[in-house]
């Protein structure tokens, strides 16, 4: 009897291991796949959305744009074609939330350093002040890597419309002056189809971790 069990011991172990793998695969197949929402203007705080879009419920995408980066190069939607990217709004002389946001964006930059599918895009809300030399100085100070991250300036009206009508990310105080865009701490996750897939507090460490997790979920959706 003992020799019988010895003879089939290895077979039993292999069968048990195989059964465990099959059960795991079956269980995994039954679990709902994690997906990210596709944000529409009607889903976002109305103070961050242009009034013409308050009730738009589908087909929202980031509009075409043409801006200038920290190296004086023209940056358009073509630079982000078929890319996932994280966008935000800032200004180089901001003394409050911007340094924290930039530090956290640097962390994201480090996480995506070797990932060719993911880029970063930061828009100045004070383009009159944030000239190309000013953006370059800021980029060098903060550790911005040109191949991963564009800091852009340009026509204020265009940036304003992008912020309010595309990214749904800034408030308007209505004074018509150079500071009439009140930017938020939001980081915006944009997919390869130019759709918004997430909003995150760029000053909150937990939100940065969530963004990186959601980024993995979004990337996985393209490999299915």
Give the list of residues 6+ apart from residue 222 with CB closer than 8 angstroms, or none: 117, 192
pLDDT in tens, 43-82: 999 988 988 999 999 999 999 999 999 999 999 999 999 9
Question: Annotation-wise, does 60 bind a ligand?
Answer: no
The answer to whether 84 and 191 are in contact (CB under 8 A) is yes
pLDDT in tens, 95-143: 889 999 999 999 999 999 999 999 999 999 999 999 999 999 999 999 9
Q: Please tell me what DSSP assigns to residue 202.
A: T
The answer to whether 186 and 201 are in contact (CB under 8 A) is yes
Distance CA 111, CA 38 (A): 23
Q: Angle between the 98-111 and 205-221 helix axes, to the nearest 10 degrees?
A: 40
pLDDT at 31: 46
pLDDT at 186 over 70: yes
What is the third-level CATH fold of 41-221? Glutaredoxin (3.40.30)
Question: Annotation-wise, does 183 bind a ligand?
Answer: yes
pLDDT at 34: 84
The answer to whether 80 and 47 are in contact (CB under 8 A) is no
What backbone torsions phi and psi does residue 190 show, to the nearest 5 degrees?
-120, 135
The answer to whether 194 and 97 are in contact (CB under 8 A) is no
Q: What's the longest Cα–Cα distance across the chain?
A: 93
Question: Annotation-wise, does 94 bind a ligand?
Answer: yes
Distance CA 184, CA 97 (A): 9
Radius of gyration of the chain (CA): 23
Q: What is the pTM of this model?
A: 0.83
């Amino acid at each position: 009897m003992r020799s019988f069990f010895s003879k089939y011991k290895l077979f039993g172990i292999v069968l048990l291991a195989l059964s465990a793998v099959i059960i795991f695969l079956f269980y995994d197949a039954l679990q709902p796949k994690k997906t990210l929402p596709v944000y529409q203007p009607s889903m976002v705080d109305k103070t961050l959305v242009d009034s013409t879009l308050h009730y738009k419920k589908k087909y929202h995408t980031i509009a075409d744009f043409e801006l200038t980066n920290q190296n004086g190069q023209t940056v358009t939607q073509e630079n982000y074609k078929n890319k996932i990217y994280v966008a935000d709004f800032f200004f180089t002389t901001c003394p409050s939330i911007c340094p924290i946001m930039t530090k956290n964006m640097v962390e994201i930059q480090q996480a995506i350093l070797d990932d060719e599918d993911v880029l970063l895009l930061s828009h100045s809300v004070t383009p009159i002040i944030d000239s190309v030399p000013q953006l370059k100085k800021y980029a060098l100070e903060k550790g911005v890597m040109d191949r991963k991250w564009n800091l852009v300036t340009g026509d204020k009206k265009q940036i304003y419309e992008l912020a309010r009508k595309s990214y749904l990310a800034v408030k308007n105080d209505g004074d018509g002056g150079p500071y009439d865009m009140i930017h938020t701490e939001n980081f915006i996750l944009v997919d390869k189809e130019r759709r918004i897939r997430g909003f995150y507090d760029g000053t909150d460490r937990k939100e940065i971790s969530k963004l990186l997790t959601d980024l993995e979920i979004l990337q996985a959706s393209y490999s299915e």
